[in-house]
Structure 1
Amino acid sequence: MDRTDYARLDAVALRQLIADGQVSAADVDTVAREAIMGVADDLGALAQPLFETSLVADEDGPFGGVPFVIKDSGPFARGVSFAYGSRAIRGVADEDHELMRRFRRAGLMAVGQTCAPELSLNFATESRLHGVTRNPWNLERGTGGSSGGAAALVAAGAVPVAHGSDGAGSIRIPAACCGVVGLKPSRGRTTSGPDVFGGMPMGVDFALTRTVRDTAALLDAVAAPSGLPRPVRPYGELAQIDPGRLRIGFTTLAGSTVDVDEEVAAVARGAAEMLDWIGHDVSEVATGFDQRDVVDALLLAIHAAGKALLLAPRRPDTRLLEAVSRSIVSETASMTDADLDSWVRAQRRVTGSVEDVFDRIDVLVTPVTAELPLAHRTLDYDDPRWTARTWLERILEFGPFTAASNVSGHPAISLPLGQSRSGMPIGVQLVAGMGREDSLLQVAAQLEQAMPWADREPPIFAG
């Protein structure tokens, strides 16, 4: 297998070649390492050198032998060092995160670790520790965050699938910026584990891929038992089945204070029009939640992260933290019960508003970001002028559409349905009712067929 063939295959196709004996897992591992290193210097997506040997996984799993990378978002894989993108944090995971165990059982072969911003609290993958991660479509632009290293490598054909985590849009925003698929499952669909949010349930771990079928098959492989609605058939099968006539709502409004770029809005509107042409009932809707409540609800998670840092057995040297992290730690120390009560009530209001939307529709269509991918250092996490609140307000100006589904727990996916006149990817978000990844993936598959992206390759490409 050469690099060109490898870089253009999704994970399902690659696994089929391995299962059929047309190529060995060892050969794929070798080619994957060459592909990653071929783009590594340009992209700055690796948090550390590639692992000397890929992490052990079940070669008979549904993704047996498929190359994979994990995100520097905490103690995720046994024996692997982590830093949360910070100069102040150093550790080695004593055990696997439960989702990592499921990735291993699925057969995914982790070959390395990707960059993330400090504490994963930025919609740009930039840090004092690692510098900037660059977009394979334009090296002067960012990848989004916080799973930007993962998105860059998937977009560049270096790996077909990559671990990501999403606390306010951190899978979907990099997916949109880099032109790949990014699913945030429903809260509880995948397992949570130790993270900087101190156990707060707004963050969800899953993955970024290049195809809807990879996303669906991977969810089948790693979904955890929960009280959520169970699909009547595997997601991989459901994604190939017409869901029938659904109620589709769409909006390109991000609140009274955020202007959405006309090219970005046009792609979302075009997706809604395509769904109408396919045969769904499409109408414009109002989401109903107040963006100020979204910020307040996210403060609950942000300050849980601050509390986790304050209570850590080896408390980080705050002098080595970046400015926003220092603000969070300082503010957390003076946090009151009244603050917590206010933020919890905000979370309930947002959740109620989102649930009201899905009493009226099955799937919501929105942009992912309000702008095209940003120039580097536009979102400067190390600027001491920011407080926790003003920082959240700033990053939500860039990504105003994603965080509400973290607050409410609803599943959402970013699809690379468009490109700007300058050639940058534009993502469209689909959100579904709680636990309804089946409907979400079925509509996503319809759009992938009607508005395909498989033939788009960025200038920095492993093949």
Structure 2
Amino acid sequence: MSIERLLWEEDATTLADLVRRGEVSPIELVDAAIARAERVNPEINAIAEETFERARERAKTVDRGAPLAGVPFAIKDLGIAQKGVPTHGGSCIPAFVPDFDSVLTERYLAAGLIPIATSTTPEHGLRLMTESAAFGITRNPWNTGHTTGGSSGGAAALVAAGVVPVAHASDGGGSIRVPSACSGLVGLKTSRGRVPLSPLVSESWYGFVVDHAVTRSVRDSAALLDLTHGPDPLAPYAARPPKGTFSDAAAREPGRLRLAVYRRSPLGLEISAETLAALDTAVALAREGGHDVEEIDLPMIGRDFMADFAMSVCSAVAGTMRMEALRVGRPVLGEVERATRVLARFGELMSAGEVYETLERLHAASRKLIIETASYDAVLMPIIAHPPLPCGAMDAKGSDAFTENMLDRLRLTRMLKLRTFFGQLLDQSLWFTHWPSIQNVSGQPSIAMPVHVTAAGLPLGIQAAGRPGDEETLLSLAAQMEKLSGWTKRRAPLMKPE
């Protein structure tokens, strides 16, 4: 078997074991990953910055005793620092070139991972499709006419295409889980405070953003979390410590769990038959695993909750644009995409009192959610309301494009204070992804599981959301469902190596 085929077929745990046994070398894996990247990236457009030569140099000196020694890796082009590597955030604003590594980067390198590239993201992670004016369209290796999701869409595309077996990702409103659902991958959105974001930031989007990874297998997600979680002196808080290792949790049977299913749209928007079929597949797998499953409603999660989330993000975007202007020494709104500019201007219209009130409402709803679901070990729910969309499908069109253009050109952002106009913007932004932001607000962990393939041959994953701080139960459940479904054997057909 060629090294490229090995890289395409196996997960990180297996590759690291082969390195440890001397059956393959780190430089062989890195060279194969670079060669694969050069072959497939023209088709998927998932790389923001190549770090090929750095990777080759690191492969020569990596400690082969490290847990994931020699495993090729990608780091997202947003919210994490690699010393000397430009970070664009998917934007045309001049790149930030840090002179330090984030704590998470240090932990990746200590684990023996070898970053070969940074992965594409939409501008500042604001869209759940990875398309930007700065880098263009990132495409799905399962069908390049379709999206790989966002905002960690480049990471998901590189893993699904067999360039790397695991990749760093982050999630502020579904940005790990949506690409996983679109790309046939496992994507764990961790509990708030599980993985530090320091020293780049203390927290992002009021604590909504978390960092972890997209992976091919549950055991890879667990192993990577074991190597990267834990407090840092600069982090403002940390999730409660696990009872054991996450890898042990993924390796053991979960026992008989009490599971809930939530299948309504919190926005009251259409849900496709394929999405409901994916949810039914997950329920069937859970029952096959011996678990009790019951349907529930979540009345505290509705359009008001989603609107409050969106308004909070707008205020965060406004603050980000201020910080970027400070960094580059000039106003930057003229250099960002129209949609980003509209969100930032609306965020500037919110008073400090409005932002605080909005966050308090979100926290109150989160407390109700956590209390009312506390008796369940996990809640199954969709991630995406439709199968992976054609590229460009979420671009504003027709009346939406006209409204967005008028809001921008005539500076009529104040119209978004009217519920009708804001509701239109909300639906335009979230009609593909109704559910993921729930756990970003509540801080709960949630894992995307690639349980379903559509009639058109596209992946469609669902999620299981857990109690705060309890990734262990989710990993155990997901590993069992992985074994029952056999999803680790599925691979995107793009340029299958010999």
- TM-score of the superposed pair, with normalisation by structure 2: 0.88
Does residue 1:276 correspond to 2:287, yes or no? yes
Partner of residue 327, structure 1 = 342
Amino acid in structure 1 at the alignment position of 2:275: V
Number of the residue aligned with 2:41: 40
**What is aligned with 1:83?**
88
- In structure 1, the residue matched to 2:446 is 412
Counterpart residue type for residue 303 of structure 1: S
3-state DSSP class of the match of 1:52?
helix
Distance 1:153 1:436, change over 3 A: same
Aligned to 1:222: 228
Q: 1: CA distance between counterparts of 2:461 and 2:174?
A: 12
Aligned residues: 463
Cα deviation, residue 102, structure 1? 1.1
Post-superposition offset of 1:199? 5.9
One-letter code aligned to 1:257: G
Counterpart of 1:8 in structure 2 is: 9
| Greater displacement, 227-236 / 193-202 | 193-202
Identity %: 33
Q: Partner residue of 1:157? A: 162
- TM superposition shift of 1:359: 1.8
How big is each residue's C-alpha offset from its partner over 1:26-69, in whole Å with a ceiling of 9 and x where there is no partner?
A: 11111111111121100011113343221846543211111000
Matches within 5 A, 1:222-371: 222-225=228-231, 227-255=238-266, 257-288=268-299, 289-311=301-323, 312-314=326-328, 315-371=330-386
Distance 1:355 1:286, change over 3 A: same
Change (3 A) 1:49 1:42: same
Post-superposition Cα deviations, 1:157-185, rounded to whole Å, max 9, x if no partner, equal: 11000111100000100011011111110
Alpha-carbon distance in 2 for matches of 1:420, 1:35: 27
Q: Greater share of helix residues, 1 or 2?
A: 2
- Residue 402 of structure 1 corresponds to 436
Instruction: Find the aligned partners of 1:171 and 1:228 in 2 and give their Cα distance.
Output: 19
What is the alpha-carbon distance in structure 2 between the residues aligned to residue 442 and residue 75 of structure 1? 29
Q: Check whether the contact 2:321–2:332 (CA below 8 A) recurs between aligned residues.
A: no
Q: Distance in 2 between the 1:396 and 1:228 partners? A: 28
Q: Is the 8 A contact 1:247 1:363 kept in 2?
A: yes
1:443 aligns with 2:477: yes
CA distance in 2, matches of 1:300, 1:4: 45
Cα distance in structure 1, aligned partners of 2:25 and 2:46? 27
Which sits farther off after the overlay, 324-333 or 27-36?
324-333
Q: Which moved more, 1:390-399 or 1:176-185?
A: 390-399
Structure 2 partner of 1:200: 206
Q: CA offset at residue 273 of structure 1?
A: 2.3
Structure 2 counterpart of 1:402, which letter? P
Q: Deviations over 1:437-463 (max 9, x none)?
A: 000000000100111112222221453
Q: CA 1:401/1:256 → structure 2, altered by over 3 Å: closer, same or farther?
A: closer
CA distance in 1, matches of 2:285, 2:313: 37
Are the counterparts in 2 of residues 197 and 305 from structure 1 also a CA contact under 8 Å? no
Quick check: 1:68–1:109 contact (8 Å CA) kept in 2?
Answer: yes
Q: What is the rounded CA distance, in whole Å, between the counterparts of 2:22 and 2:130 in structure 1?
A: 38
TM score, norm. by length of structure 1: 0.95
**Any idea what SS the aligned residue of 2:464 has?**
strand
Quote the Cα distance in structure 1 between the aligned partners of 2:491 and 2:157: 12
Q: Which amino acid aligns with 2:481?
A: L
Compute the displacement of 1:379 (Å): 1.6
Worse-superposed segment, 285-294 or 9-18: 285-294
Deviates more, 1:42-51 or 1:422-431: 42-51
Q: Which 10-residue stretch deviates more, 244-253 or 159-168?
A: 244-253
What is the DSSP-based 3-state SS (H/G/I as helix, E as strand, rest coil) of the residue aligned with 1:7?
A: helix
Does the aligned pair in 2 maintain the 1:364–1:432 contact within 8 Å? yes
Alignment-mate amino acid for residue 192 of structure 1: L
Q: Is 2:131 the counterpart of 1:126? A: yes
RMSD: 2.1
| Alpha-carbon contact 1:287-1:353 (below 8 Å) kept | no
More displaced 10-residue stretch of structure 1: 343-352 or 386-395: 386-395
Structure 1 residue matching 2:168: 3-state secondary structure = strand
Instruction: Give the AA of the match of 1:157.
Output: G
- How far apart are the structure 2 equivalents of 1:380 and 1:437? 35
Matched with 1:424 is 458
Q: Is the 8 A contact 1:370 1:398 kept in 2?
A: yes
Residue 75 (structure 1) shift: 4.8
For each residue in 1:234-281, what CA deviation from the matched residue of structure 2 results, as whole angstroms up to 9, or x when unmatched? 111111112211110012211362121111111212211221232111
Q: Do the aligned partners of 1:88 and 1:318 also contact (CA within 8 Å) in 2? A: no
AA of the residue aligned to 2:444:
H
**How far apart, CA to CA, are the structure 1 residues paired with 2:33 and 2:103?**
25
Partners of 1:295 and 1:393 within 8 A in 2: no
Distance 2:379 2:121 in 1: 29
Distance across 1 between alignment mates of 2:240 and 2:332: 44
Moved >6 Å (runs of 4+): none
Residue 198 of structure 1, CA deviation:
5.2
